[in-house]
Amino acid sequence: MLATLLSALADPGPLPPPDRLLPQLRSKLGLPTNEFDRAASSALLERFGGTLVDTSAEPAPPEAGEVLAARRRFDGDILYLRVGQVSSGLAPQLRAALEDAEWTRNAVGLVLDLRFARGASFEAAGQAGSLFSGDSGEILDWGAGRTTVDGAATTWRKPVAVLVNGETRGAAGALAALLRREASAILVGRPTGGDIAVIGEFDLEGGARVRLPLSAVRLGDGSVVPRGGLEPDILVRGSSEDDRLHLEDPFASFSRGAASDGGSKPNEPGSPPRRRINEADLVRAQREGLLPGDAKTEVKASPVVRDPALARGLDLLRGLAILKKS
């Protein structure tokens, strides 16, 4: 009942001030004072998106990692960058990578991996997103600041696939939403985590602490980025544990062990799996004057990417490249 009544705070109709309303509610409901106060506080926190922080079980802050944690080039002329930290160094490092003429030569697309990306700087997210925006005007507003572009900072205009999962939260989630709007990026993976808002914390008497979203994050068109997270455009089944296993070696094959912890382990070493020739191989073979099965030479199959989300992102970009040529 309290939650229902307090939800009326969002309606424009007249309401008496709390110092007049709450005593009447407490009296009419006949609840003990401590039970009523607890229910009222809980309803207020829920109404405004706040949560109590359990300081006794609060995890240690994550260690700072590399801003760009990995850089690869995959078969089919696809670039791959994994973001470790959404911080002030991200935009300069992204720009340096994307302006590397040798590394980007003949590239047809970019996979930007935001799985497990740390950081809470929405300013850094806006600066990174500006490298992919060809518009002029405001592209990100997080209440305490905003990012405005004039199109001159654009560094990358080719297709982008963004890998996300439940560990893509905060500023990384905002960057994913920004890239989807500004660069028409396709989000691949699983729903992102929350905290896509400016979060403040304050202490209460007795040692309790409250986390409260102070302002929403908005894109250039004025739309609010959902604080609870984003749905991917292409859903890939799996878990964050599986994603983590593939971070360092996307070609590794893992099988579910019979151990009680239900973990995954690498397959026993053996001969590498054979891979069928795909459309990208045929296009490249034709360009290089090769034909599969030729008596003198044959197309050498590349290692198989076993990371499901990455494999879907690569296939998407290869497909777009083939359509562009056709």
Tens digits of residue pLDDT in 69-104 = 999 999 999 999 999 999 999 999 999 999 999 999
Phi, psi dihedrals of residue 53, rounded to the nearest 5°:
-95, 125
Confidence of residue 301 (pLDDT cuts 50, 70, 90): low
What Cα–Cα distance (Å) separates residue 100 from each residue in 79, 221, 306?
Answer: 12, 32, 28
The residue type of 86 is V
CATH class for domain 68-238?
Answer: alpha beta
The residue among 254, 273, 272 whose CA lies nearest residue 264 is 254
Answer whether 196's CB lies under 8 Å from 220's CB. Answer: no
The pLDDT, as a whole number, for residue 31 is 81
The token pair at 23 is 């005593």
Answer whether 219's CB lies under 8 Å from 226's CB. Answer: no
β-strand partners of 140:
147, 219
The pLDDT, as a whole number, for residue 123 is 96
What Cα–Cα distance (Å) separates residue 82 from each residue in 63, 97, 116?
Answer: 17, 12, 9
The pLDDT, as a whole number, for residue 104 is 97
Torsion of CA 196, 198, 201, 202, to 10 degrees: -140
Q: Which residues contact 167 (CB under 8 A, 6 or more apart)?
A: 115, 116, 117, 193, 240, 243
Q: pTM of whole model > 0.85? A: no
Which among 24-33, 45-54, 201-210, 311-320 has the top mean pLDDT?
A: 311-320
What Cα–Cα distance (Å) separates residue 226 from each residue in 193, 196, 240, 265?
Answer: 10, 7, 21, 36
Instruction: Tell me: pLDDT of 107 over 50.
Output: yes
Instruction: Tell me: pLDDT of 298 over 70.
Output: no
pLDDT one-digit tens code per residue, 118-160: 998 999 999 999 999 988 899 999 998 999 998 788 999 999 9
- Helices of type H across the chain: 2-7, 18-29, 33-47, 90-98, 101-104, 122-130, 171-182, 240-247, 279-287, 308-325
